[in-house]
Amino acid sequence: MAAKLKIKLVKSGIDAPPNLRQCLKGLGLSRMHRVRELEDTPMVRGMIFKVRHLVAVDPPEAADKERKA
């Protein structure tokens, strides 16, 4: 099973260029403080890299420990 990443939108994308807003939409982050748990794939990693200044990412190990607890 692939690892999961927890991604949280911490800064608004309202003033961001359209291509960054599309990345946020692709990640499923439409509102502030919304958290999504997505598969750790190269495509998701690439989108996170583009909007890294707008999001907070928990590493896969932290997401697994939280789920087991």
Give the pTM: 0.81
pLDDT value at residue 2: 75
pLDDT tens profile 14-48:
999 999 999 999 999 999 999 999 999 999 999 99
How many domains are contained in the chain?
1
Domain that holds residue 61: 4-68
pLDDT above 80 (res 63): no
Cα separation values, 4 from 15, 37, 54, Å: 29, 6, 19
Q: Are 36 and 7 in contact (CB under 8 A)?
A: yes
**CATH number, residue 22:** 3.30.1390.20
Rounded to whole angstroms, the Cα distance separating 39 from 37 reads 7
